[in-house]
Amino acid sequence: MQCTEQKINLLDFDRRGMESFFEGLGAKAFNGRNVLKWIHKHGVTDFDAMTDLSKPLRGQLKAIAEVRVPEIVFEQPALDGTHKWVLELDCNNRIESVFIPEPNRSTLCISSQVGCALDCSFCSTAQQGFNRNLTAAEIIGQVWVAERELGKSLTNVVLMGMGEPLANFDPVVTATNIMQDDLAYMLSKYRVTISTSGIVPALKQLKALSEVSLAVSLHAPTNELRDQLVPINRKYPLEELIPACRDYLRGDKRRKVTWEYVMLDGVNDSDKQAKQLIRLLEGTPSKVNLIPFNPFPGTGYRCSPPERIDAFRQRLVKAGIVTTTRKTRGEDIDAACGQLVGRVKDQSRRELKHSGGVVR
Ligand code: SAH
């Protein structure tokens, strides 16, 4: 792992960025499109293998640029087929990506920041604090590495790992552009999902620039409770958040907002709160995803009992809201929601070795 000044990383560019980079070199925009394809469609990082580039252009590229992918330092399969990769970004930072296979889908859950600044009271990432934003290269690099390791294409990508995607706006938009590009991963707008705690101005900006699907961490039906669980609510309360999410759908009948709702015993799981939630979502095309709380050391919360989760779900379903309960995946390898970590100091190689996976 190099920790000094490095060359320009071509993983940082979406189609527009790549075209203008090549034009800046005095080459052609189509050279940029070809390189995008080599990197993301064919997994090629060596300029000499990019046979449709002229020799002088390859030489020029080698002098100033490279395709630098995150390095896997550790990987761990779970009993249920979930697979976690710990990626090293630089001397101080690591992130985790989680592959979640399902019968008809292969989903990768990726991170957008190292740590998180939002301080949601039930999330273990919040407890580590915020370290830094990821670059576009580090975000799309997680997808690149997963496809290389799996030897097959992903069908879905969710930005539901560490970090708040809308607090790292430009790199997230660049990376999601690459995911959706026909020259790269070809994922439709329905198959790339950003999960956000609800940064309203960024949501409005996103609507102008992107069409990715939206999952919103709601977790409470009233401002009073949401202020405690998701403190960004004090800045962007429900009366601003809900209409902004509805607007994001642009009236597209195929689209719905996915509302994430973590089930916390005795905190947000009563029948009364289910009713309040139904009222809150009236008029917004919605899906609700109930997430059983995943505990972590030091937390004061408990997960709602399964019967309570089911009763809560039934109430929403009766009101006509599509509601699913998220199956907890990868629990045995600490890969479940809210359990991802990123600080190197929490994860020395020795500790990783003792946790039963493969150190690379
Ligand atoms: N910052 C983004 C992505 C966060 S992680 C966001 O807020 O949406 C994805 C989801 O996992 C969020 O809904 C988050 O609230 C939830 N989550 C966090 N900690 C959790 C935990 N311990 N158990 C279950 N879900 C959790």
Strands (E) in the chain, as ranges, are 8-9, 65-66, 71-77, 83-88, 94-102, 105-109, 113-115, 130-133, 156-159, 192-196, 213-217, 257-263, 286-292, 322-325, 358-359
Q: State the distance from the centre of ligand 1 to the C-alpha of 151, rounded, in angstroms.
A: 29
pLDDT surpassing 80 at residue 231: yes
- Position 344 scores a pLDDT of 46
230 within ligand 1 shell (Cβ under 6 A): no
**Candidates 111, 217, 269: which one to mutate for ligand 1, based on the most atoms within 8 Å of Cβ?**
217
Q: Residue 298: is its pLDDT beyond 70?
A: yes
- Ligand 1 centroid distance, CA of 123 (Å): 6
Distance 124 CA to ligand 1 centre (A): 9
Question: Is the CB of 137 within 6 Å of ligand 1?
Answer: no
Return the pLDDT at 341. 56
| pLDDT score of 168 more than 80 | yes
State in Å: Cα 32 to ligand 1 middle: 37
Which of left, alpha, beta for 167 (phi over 0: left; psi -120 to 50: alpha)?
alpha
Active site residue 337: yes
Q: Which two tokens stand for residue 160?
A: 């539901």
The pick from 261, 337, 339, 341 for probing ligand 1's pocket by mutation, whose C-beta has the most ligand atoms within 8 angstroms, reads 337
- Rounded Cα distance between 309 and 266, Å, is 11
State residue 266's pLDDT score: 98
Residue nearest to atom 17 of ligand 1 (CA): 338
- Ligand 1 atom with the shortest distance to the CA of 296: 22
The answer to whether 246 and 257 have CB atoms below 8 angstroms apart is: yes
Q: Which of 260, 264, 267, 334 to mutate to test the pocket of ligand 1 (most atoms within 8 A of CB)?
A: 260
Nearest residue (by CA) to ligand 1, atom 25, is: 337
Neighbour-count burial of 152, counting CB atoms closer than 10 A to its CB (0-12 exposed, 13-18 middle, 19+ buried): exposed
pLDDT band at 81 (very low <50, low <70, confident <90, very high): confident
* Average pLDDT value over all residues in the chain: 92
Residue 92's pLDDT band (cuts 50, 70, 90): confident
Question: Higher pLDDT residue, 220 or 91?
Answer: 220
Q: Which has the closest alpha carbon to 304: 345, 268, 276?
A: 268
Query: For residue 333, how far is the Cα from the chain centroid?
Result: 19
**Tens digit of pLDDT for each residue in 8-50?**
999 999 999 999 999 999 999 999 999 999 999 999 999 999 9
> Does the predicted TM-score (pTM) go above 0.85?
yes
Average pLDDT over residues 242-253: 95
> Can you tell me which residue has the tokens 């009763």?
311
Average pLDDT of the segment spanning 102-110: 95
Calculate how far, in angstroms, residue 282's C-alpha sits from the geometric centre of ligand 1: 24
Active-site entry in 96, 138, 164, 260? 96
Atom of ligand 1 nearest to the CA of 294: 23
Q: Which of 37-51, 92-106, 262-276, 327-341 has the lowest mean pLDDT?
A: 327-341
Q: Is 123 a catalytic residue?
A: no
Quote the pLDDT of residue 291: 96
